[in-house]
Structure 1
Amino acid sequence: MRSRIGAVTTLLAATVALAGCGGTDEPDSAPTTGSTTESTTGSATPSTSETATEAPWQVLDGPLARCGPQPADVAEAGFTPAVLADREVGRIAAVTAGTGPTVAVLLHQTDGNGLCGWLPYAADLVAEPGLQVLAIDLCGYAESECTGDRTGPAQVDAVGVAVREARTRLQASRVVVVGASMGGSVALMTAATHDGVDAAVDLSGPVDWEGIEVVDGGRALRVPVLVAMADAEGDDQVSGAQAIVDLAPAGSRFEPAESGHGYDLLLDGDARPLPLADTVAAWIRGSV
């Protein structure tokens, strides 16, 4: 993998709504279920700074232009926009890149433009063969058009469509659901409720909503999880995240950090990798 990333690279009760995620995230808004893929074309609000040694950021062609300027290597990653169409859930906007038997299903946080927030890190993940990424717009965000009210725990329906896509069309032998902030909580809920998931990563996902513990405090989880939470989130969130890991299946792992929320735990403002970036990449690949 390129120098930007090293070579080693929590079930809410069904009646509880998941809110937005700490920091500056806004609460969920919600609109809109077998799965076909239709071609279309779409990533994170980036920093505008650049250094003398880096290529300037650029706006991508086609639908991904909505994501604004991106690091130069994002354009080189070969992202292919798609729509995952399901008769019950609706139309889930997505983007894929990379090759290989492992697929990381990426779930965004509430701020930014849906899946756009994942593009810089996703480009790093697929810089070497062996791993594909499938990033989606969750229901109520960006380009996805879902049926009914699919906020909170119901977001797992859209993720289920993506997991099925990973197993079928992308022919994955390993599927890891990775989420930032709100997406982190949804990743854990998916890991507790859906077959076809081998592991999950939660970056700063809220550990409870209105007193209800996400994934029953870890007891509902069925696969190993990696949970990262910064001290700056507060003692309750940090201790709750650690407790989830303690009650999760064997092999689960808690990663502390001093500061940062969601994507900011992985990349700095110039999209350069932070120490946790390698750990998450290795977890996705199953090498730790």
Structure 2
Amino acid sequence: MRSRFGAVTTLLTLAALALAGCGADEEPAAGGSSASPEQTPSSSPPTAAPWQPLTGPLSRCGPQPAAAADAGFVPTTLEDEEVGRISAVTAGSGPTVAILLHQTDGNGACGWLPYAAQLVAEPGVQVLAIDLCGYGESECTGDRSSGPAQVDAVAVAVREARTRMKAARVVVVGASMGGSVALMAAASPVEVDAVADLSGPVDWDGMEVVDGGRALRVPVLVAMADGEGEDQVAGARAIVDAAPQGSRFEPAESGHGYDLLLDRADQPTPLGSAVLGWVRGE
């Protein structure tokens, strides 16, 4: 009888402990947490704040990062009797002007606004993002949609930067198609101080851009991701090797054009920071 009673007592004690344990899980002590350190959710990568629509003429650009919405972009039109009307966007202040040439996707200069906001956040930098001929709201004379003819629109922008914007330093920065046009501008008599090319194709309609770099007149920064293919990367490196002193190649694992410059939180990537330093002449 003692043995049976002892067994019953043991069972009752175990049940009571089990119930006490359940109660502890359901109602943790004040100020505490029922989750173990291993169960605590890990930190998520930073992401961008919700984008905001722009007003006025720039509403055509659709929603933009908060920094772009607050950057003070001003739409304008550059007029030239021979070239036509070049639609553009300006912002910032200072002696350095970055002329931004867009890639083929998107709505002309609109694709540059997120990164342009980062450029003008730095003291001493203005931006002049233009719609190339045949894109956005630009109305050019004749057929100026080909690569070499697009340099005429760049020349109009450079004149604007040197005169009305009072630039002491002008840097042309292009993405994809705009990158190739930027290199062509650097091989022309257009008065620029430096050029940055992000993912620009190394040939245009079967012709080598800027004679493989030998025609360039000013230092260039050329960025090309490995994902573009061995031929493009090799061609980009060759352009830099043949370019004037001070030129450099910036590698990346992946990405194209604008995507090389900002991360998921709309902040400059290492390459985005390098381009900013290049614009500033650092």
- After TM superposition, the score normalised by the length of structure 2 is 0.82
Q: Report the Cα distance in structure 2 between the residues aligned to 1:122 and 1:54, rounded to whole angstroms.
A: 16
- 1:158 alignment partner, one of 150, 153, 158: 153
Structure-2 separation of matches of 1:132 and 1:196:
17
**Pair 239,145 (structure 1): closer, same or farther in 2 beyond 3 Å:** same
Q: Secondary structure at the match of 1:177?
A: strand
Change (3 A) 1:141 1:52: same
Partner residue, 2:209: 214
Deviation digits for residues 196-243 of structure 1 (CA, Å, limit 9, x no counterpart): 200000000000124311000000000000000001000110000000
Match of 2:80 in 1: 86
1:96 and 2:129 correspond: no
How much does 1:133 deviate?
0.2
2:59 counterpart residue number: 65
Pairing 1:112-123 to 2, within 5 Å after superposition? 112-123=106-117
2:224–2:250: 8 Å Cα contact kept in structure 1? Answer: yes
- Aligned-CA RMSD value: 1.4
Match among 115, 121, 131 for residue 127 of structure 1: 121
Query: Is residue 204 of structure 2 the alignment partner of residue 235 of structure 1?
Result: no
- 1:160 touches 1:194 (CA, 8 Å); kept in 2? no
Alignment partners' CA distance in 1, 2:65 and 2:102: 18
Q: What is the percentage of aligned positions where both structures have the same residue?
A: 78
- Whether contact under 8 Å (2:48, 2:266) holds in the other structure is no
Deviation at 1:183, TM superposition (A): 0.1
Q: 1:272–1:157: structure 2 CA closer, same or farther, 3 Å change rule? A: same
- The residue number in structure 1 matching 2:261 is 266
Give the Å deviation of 1:54. Answer: 5.5
In structure 1, stretches of 5+ residues that fail to align are 1-50
Q: What is the deviation of 1:271?
A: 2.4
The amino acid of 1:170's aligned partner reads M
Letter in 2 for 1:117: G
Residues 36-47 of structure 1: pairs in structure 2 closer than 5 A: none
Shift >3 Å, 4+ stretches: 51-55
Conservation of the 8 A alpha-carbon contact between 1:227 and 1:245: yes
Select the structure with the greater relative contact order (CA < 8 A; seq sep ≥ 6). Answer: 1
Q: 1:212 to 1:55 in 2, by over 3 A?
A: closer
Larger Rg: 2
Aligned length: 237
Specify which of 168, 173, 180 is matched with residue 185 of structure 1: 180
Distance, in Å, in 2 between the alignment partners of 1:215 and 1:244 is 8
Aligned counterpart, 1:225: 220
CA shift at 1:263, angstroms?
Answer: 0.3
CA distance in 1, matches of 2:46, 2:274: 28
Q: CA deviation at 1:56?
A: 2.6
> Residue 86 and residue 258 in structure 1: after superposition, are their counterparts in 2 closer, same or farther (change >3 A)?
same
Instruction: Give, in angstroms, the shift of residue 178 of structure 1.
Output: 0.2
CA 87–232 in structure 1, closer or farther in 2 if over 3 Å, else same: same
**1:272 deviation in Å?**
3.0
Gaps of 5+ in 2: 1-44
Deviation at 1:269, TM superposition (A): 4.7
Q: What letter is aligned with 1:123? A: A
Deviates more, 1:275-284 or 1:192-201: 192-201
- TM-score normalised to structure 1 length: 0.80
The offset of 1:136, in angstroms, is 0.2
Pick aligned residue for 1:176 from 162, 167, 171: 171
